[in-house]
Structure 1
Amino acid sequence: MASPVARLRELLADESKIIVCPGVYDGLTARIALQGGFDALYMTGAGTAASRLGMADLGIITLNEMRTNADMIANLDRSVPLIADADTGFGGTLSVHRTVTEYIRSGIAAFHLEDQPTTKRCGHLLNKQIVEEDEFLSRIRAAVNARKQSGGDIVIIARTDALQSLGYENAVQRLKHAIELGADVAFLEGVATREEAKQTVQDLSPTPVLFNAVAGGLSPYLTADEARELGFRIIIFPGFALTAVYEAVNAEAKLLKETGTTAKRAGSPKELFTALGLRESMAIDAAAGSRLYEKGV
């Protein structure tokens, strides 16, 4: 079996297709997405902060929390590459080097690295601060060097949030310079229009460009086909699970509070556990000669 990063590079090499990545943030949402048969997954930093800390995406989460979560998700099914948020690299160049090294060791196929300060915020909030281009490029250079020194591989996605504050030309220039240093994919956060999105792809060609589909965010909410027609090679849906869970559990909480019960559903605990690898676990036990589950569950 090809490694996750080799599989992702193989997918990127097919210029006729776009890689569709549902955003997941824990084992359950990852298992659900894996059942859906997607070619790759995306671990959202906002979802990780929400699920692990119960807090908003404001640069509070640490490398260890992010890497531990990504490691678990990446290794549920190593045939499906995981793209993971890496925020700003969690500090200076030494921290970026450590982040990349640990992401590689965890089997993560790709990550994106941005140009906000460490006290960052979600890319679809307003009034983001941006570091100087030299500082951003030092992060990219540290990431490229760490990849080289690791003896392994990982796809580096250069992300800039400079569009709103510094303008299109400055933002695209940052991405071009990051690509010159060895970044594999470009990510312009917060493109305002379809025309700007298309122009971004053209200006950064032949480098693959990623589109971030955030419902209610700063960018037009494109479908995968629409993004492919504009020339994007990867599309991530970070709110795929987070928004759905928020809305569903909110409604369930309201129902329980008002009626004293929850909605009756056709599913069972066994059905849920099957989605979480119950059969695989039983097979492992049987292959070891154990009879723990021989009568079923």
Structure 2
Amino acid sequence: MTTPAQRLKTALEAPGLHLMPCCFDALSARLIEQAGFRVSLMSGFAVSATRLGMPDTGLISFAEMLDQLRNVCQAAPGLLVIGDGDTGYGNAMNVQRTVRDYARAGAAAVLIEDQVSPKRCGHTKGKQVVGRAEARMKIRAAVDAARSGANDILILARTDARAVHGFDAALERCQDFVEEGADIIFMEAPHDETEMAAFCAGIDRPAMANMVRGGQTPMLPPRELEALGFKLAAYPLTLMSAAIDAMRAALAAVADGQESRVAQADFEALKSLVGFPDYYEREQAYRAAE
């Protein structure tokens, strides 16, 4: 049987762009899977927001992210999940532990970035990055862990150097990551289509685009992203933001005594989504005879 990493590698080798609505918990992952998407990224921003109600500023811990990743992978076993590993939660040795444990949790790939800890969301202020040599060594450590023992996971290497040192320096880091064996490359927050095209042309690896509405990178339609050379397009906040708007509208309706007007899933459909029919069927096998 092929592993999630092997299936993701095969998907990336085939023509076409993969759209990735990002998940943040088991239910959102299952909805993404049922909608027919093949790949998703478990967004650190969204997990921090939904699990802690806190900003993506390095406050959420490795243990909390790992626990969330296990739930996501178990709830949507057919979905190829990229786990957000942030900075690896420490030095190169911490990076290796993150890679190993994310592989055991069921992730197809793990994202490791070069920000200084505590990190920041890629489209917010206050970002700093570690030195180029340290960034390279952390990706080397990640790749070594991914290729050793029973681990089988792809490495998605991310740089945030565009915001700190400019585009050329960020591209040089991306090229370093390619030389170290990273499987997927992600330059966070290029400023325009020219930079996006130069990024894709400058690396010999599948490239990821991050589509954040209101962020620093242009929101381009999928056909244009594919034409530029991207293989993955992440939408990290789309589901969470849509859910927030829907919940606020529902709360306003309930406050006005209009709960019946709230658009919501049918109760039978909701029970099916979370697995009641399967539970009832399996439960019968263990009923004691009267």
| Structure 2 length-normalised TM | 0.94
In structure 1, C-alpha distance between the alignment counterparts of 2:257 and 2:16, rounded to whole Å: 49
Match in the other structure for 2:222: 224
2:146–2:155 CA contact under 8 A, matched in 1: no
Give, in whole Å, the separation in 1 of the partners of 2:24 and 2:114.
Answer: 23
Residues 123 and 279 (structure 1), Cα distance of their counterparts in 2 relative to 1, 3 Å cut: same
Correspondence for 2:257 among 257, 260, 282: 260
Query: How many positions carry a matched residue from both structures?
Result: 288
Equivalence for 1:285: 283
Q: Deviations over 1:141-167 (max 9, x none)?
A: 111121223322111011000102201
Residue 127 of structure 1 deviates from its aligned partner by 3.3
1:239-295, Cα deviation, whole Å (9 max, x unpaired): 1211111111122223333x1343344643332121122233233324x3538xxxx
Match of 1:11 in 2: 11
Which deviates more, 271-280 or 88-97?
Answer: 271-280
Deviations 1:88-112 (A, max 9, x none): 0011122111111100111100111
Deviation of 1:77 after TM superposition, in Å, equals 3.0
Distance 1:283 1:229 in 2: 48
List aligned pairs for 1:15-164, cutoff 5 A. 16-164=15-163
- 1: distance between equivalents of 2:168 and 2:140? 21
| DSSP-derived class of the 2:186 partner | strand
Q: Which whole-Å CA distance do the structure 1 matches of 2:27 and 2:264 have between them?
A: 19
Please tell me the residue identity of whatever aligns with 2:155: I
Q: Is residue 2:273 matched to residue 1:275?
A: yes
Contact 2:145 2:151 in 1 (8 A): no
**What is the aligned counterpart of 2:206 among 205, 208, 221?**
208
- Kept in 2, the 8 Å contact 1:58–1:120? The answer is yes
Which amino acid in 2 is paired with 1:214?
V
Look up the SS of the partner of 1:150 in the other structure. Answer: coil
Q: Indicate conservation of the 8 Å contact 2:26/2:76, yes or no.
A: no
Are residues 249 and 201 of structure 1, via their aligned partners in 2, closer, same or farther at CA, if it must alter by over 3 Å?
same
| Structure 1: 5+ residue stretches without partners | 292-297
**Distance in 2, Cα, partners of 1:209 & 1:30:** 22
RMSD: 1.8
Q: Match of 1:231, as an amino acid?
A: G
Q: Is the 8 A contact 1:24 1:240 kept in 2?
A: no
**1:2 to 2:33 alignment:** no
- 1:133 and 1:251, CA in 2 relative to 1: closer, same or farther beyond 3 A? same
Farther-moved stretch of structure 1 (270-279 vs 48-57): 270-279
SS at match of 1:59: coil
Q: Residues 3 and 130 of structure 1: is their aligned pair in 2 closer, same or farther, counting only changes over 3 Å?
A: same
Q: Secondary structure at the match of 2:124?
A: coil
SS of residue matched to 2:20? strand
* Secondary structure class of the residue paired with 1:38: coil
Check whether the contact 1:124–1:218 (CA below 8 A) recurs between aligned residues: yes
Q: Can you give the 5+ residue segments of structure 2 that lack an aligned partner in the other structure?
A: none
Conserved? CA contact 1:20–1:236, under 8 Å = yes
Q: Which residue of 1 aligns with 2:176?
A: 177
Query: 1:153, 1:166 → 2: CA distance?
Result: 33
Q: CA deviation at 1:228?
A: 0.9
For residues 87 and 260 of structure 1, do their structure 2 counterparts lie closer, same or farther at Cα, with a shift above 3 Å needed? same
CA deviation map 1:169-224 (0-9, x unaligned): 110111111111111111000011112111110111x3110001111111001222
What is residue 243 of structure 1 aligned with on the other side?
241
Q: Measure, in 2, the Cα distance between the counterparts of 1:184 and 1:78.
A: 22
Give secondary structure in 1 for the equivalent of 2:202: helix
- Contact persistence 1:3–1:78 (CA under 8 A): no
Q: 2:107, 2:77 → 1: CA distance?
A: 9
Q: Do 1:3 and 1:79's aligned partners in 2 also have CA atoms closer than 8 Å?
A: no
